[in-house]
Amino acid sequence: MTTRTWLVRWIYMTVAAHLVVGVLLPLCAGAAITDGYRRGIEDFFFGVDAPAAGKALHVWWISLFGPTVQAAAIWMAGLAVMLPPLLWLCKLDLAFKHGKTMA
């Protein structure tokens, strides 16, 4: 596998992972799998047992973070994850155009 192919696949996998996490986060916010995380936060703010309204608000904030992660995935697809590989690919293409070989 060439470095070029690896970089392109890395870009796609990073964006796809963020999209999947963004979709699953609101679905799993109130699930038992996140109980340990939520209890740690709730203990810090409320002590031993958080009120029902506090738990509901915490689940809401976790659910709200899902679309934020999805938006970050779209942004990364456009700029953050793609910029370093694109600069490297540009350098590679210019070197190839001028007859130089790069590893």
24-48 pLDDT, tens digit per residue, is 999 998 898 888 888 888 888 888 7
Give, rounded to a whole angstrom, the gap between the first and last alpha carbons of the chain.
12
Q: What is the pLDDT of residues 45-67, one digit of tens each?
A: 888 788 899 889 989 999 999 99
Q: Which long-range contacts (CB under 8 A, 24 or more apart) does 81-90 make?
A: 81/10, 81/11, 81/14, 81/15, 82/11, 85/7, 85/8, 85/10, 85/11, 88/7, 89/4, 89/7
Determine how many CB atoms are found less than 10 A away from the CB of residue 22: 19
pLDDT at 1 over 70: yes
pLDDT of residue 65: 92
